[in-house]
Amino acid sequence: MTILEQDLNTEKEILSLLDEILCLNGRSSDFSRNTPLLGAIPELDSMAVVALITGMEERLGFAVDDDEIEGSTFATLGSLIDFVEGKLAN
Amino acid sequence: MLPFFIPGEGGQRFCLYHPANGLTRGAIIYLHPFAEEMNKSRRMAAIQARAMAAAGFSVLQIDLLGCGDSSGDFSDASWQAWQDDVLLAYRWLRTQTDAALTLWGLRAGCLLAGTVAVNLPEPTNFILWQPVVSGNLHWQQFMRLKMAGELASGQAKGVTAQLKQRLASGQSVEIVGYEVVPELAGGIEASELLPPSLSNSPITAQPDILQISEAKKPAVAWFELSTRENATLAPASQKRIEQWQSCGYRVQAETIQGPAFWQTTEIEDAPELIVATMAALEAF
């Protein structure tokens, strides 16, 4: 798998998780890297953030230490993808 | 459907009884999940309980101490108190019917079912919906809610460590509106979804299941949900299922397509789970 393919896969997984947890009914297909998440999507509350982290751990096979996460991690779709790629590269 | 209260330690427990339509073919106790997951899953529990009653199974739903419409605050709840509540529910249900027993749990309710079964005087079947297999992991994930709530304010760092410290010093912690005492957090943390014969409890009322004839061995219906097609069971679950099988349980495990209704933002239905659960129950 090339790096580009992996990036696309990660993005796809994250979007499908967001859609499922936030009940977006496919609205996530309009999201781009610049789409703001935390504070911009009202459905993204504590429970949804935790569901998202847990879902990423389960589907993408890495473990997140709580201290690794900051508000900026969930600022935009792009920042979230970068965080996940960082985890996958380790 | 009959709403009523059972008197228990520290007040009353709210119960909903769905008596079987016609001849009673089975007796079922529903154990709800932890904290907010309980509220999110009320609808699915109600739909399933009604479907069971219509098919001839008597179902008792109990709100555990400090939960739902039962007495007490969440801070009154301990893991032991909840186990006592299940025994309370069991004794009441046995005044209504002698039909074969099934404990039906969702998420942490499965963990409670597995923990308490060792103290039941008879073997029981299990229906496990998206079971929490590790209480430790479940508690870690619950503590994350506090951390997630602080993300926007930039105060998330060290939140989990502070919670652990408070609990270790015997103080309760507040997480998304739930006040949790160390007795509850510690009880959940120490629990694993194990077959009753493998549990650490020194006293077991359970008969040796390996001695029971094959057709009469208790059954376990284990369901996990995924929105993806052809999803497989979580690897952590596979290992647990083998333990249940090696202790003599007939286990049917399956991944069902449907939403994670106990945590989705909107209240969602998983109709395929209802269908699969009824089919499993028929085959018990």
Considering only CB atoms, A48 lies closest to which of B143, B146, B265, namely B265
Pick A6 or B225 by higher pLDDT: B225
Query: Which residue in A has a C-alpha nearest to residue B148's C-alpha?
Result: A46
Instruction: Give the span between the Cα atoms of B120 and B202, in whole angstroms.
Output: 14
Counting residues of chain B whose pLDDT is more than 70, the rounded percentage is 96
Q: How many domains, chain B?
A: 1
Residue B52 lies in a domain: yes
Its domain, for residue B18, covers: 2-133+192-283
Residue B272 lies in a domain: yes
Chain A CB contacts of B151 under 8 Å are 38, 49, 69-71, 73-74
pTM of the predicted model as reported, rounded to 2 decimal places: 0.91
Chain B CB contacts of A48 under 8 Å are 263, 265
Q: A-B interface: how many C-beta pairs under 8 angstroms?
A: 70
Residue B51 lies in a domain: yes
Long-range contacts made by residues A49-55, C-beta under 8 angstroms, separation at least 24?
Answer: A49/A74, A49/B148, A49/B151, A50/B141, A50/B144, A50/B145, A50/B148, A51/A21, A51/B260, A51/B263, A52/A17, A52/A18, A52/A21, A53/B144, A53/B148, A54/B141, A54/B144, A55/A17, A55/A20, A55/A21
Judged against a pLDDT cut of 70, whether residue B38 lies above it is answered with: yes
Residue B143 lies in a domain: no
Q: What interface predicted TM-score (ipTM) does this complex get?
A: 0.80
Pick B226 or B204 by higher pLDDT: B226
CATH number at residue B250: 3.40.50.1820
The Cβ of residue A4 has, within 10 Å, a number of other Cβ atoms equal to 8
Residue B212 lies in a domain: yes
Contact B157 A67 (CB under 8 A): yes
Which structural domains are found in chain A, ordered by start? 3-89 (1.10.1200.10)
Mean pLDDT of chain B: 93
8 Å CB contact between A75 and A36: yes
Residue B161 lies in a domain: no
Query: Which residue in A has a C-alpha nearest to residue B137's C-alpha?
Result: A54
pLDDT tens digits in sequence order for chain A, 90 residues long: 566 666 668 888 899 889 988 988 889 989 999 999 999 999 899 889 999 998 888 788 888 888 888 899 999 999 999 999 999 887
Per-residue burial over B51-89, b if 16 or more Cβ lie within 10 Å, else e, is bbbeebbbbbbbbbbbbeebbbebebbbbebbbbbbebb
Bridge partners, B192 (sequence order): B134
Local confidence band at B207 (pLDDT 50, 70, 90 cut-offs)? low
Q: What is the mean pLDDT of residues B29-50?
A: 97
Contact B263 A47 (CB under 8 A): yes
Selected for mutation to probe chain B from A66, A67, A83 (highest B CB count within 10 Å) is: A66
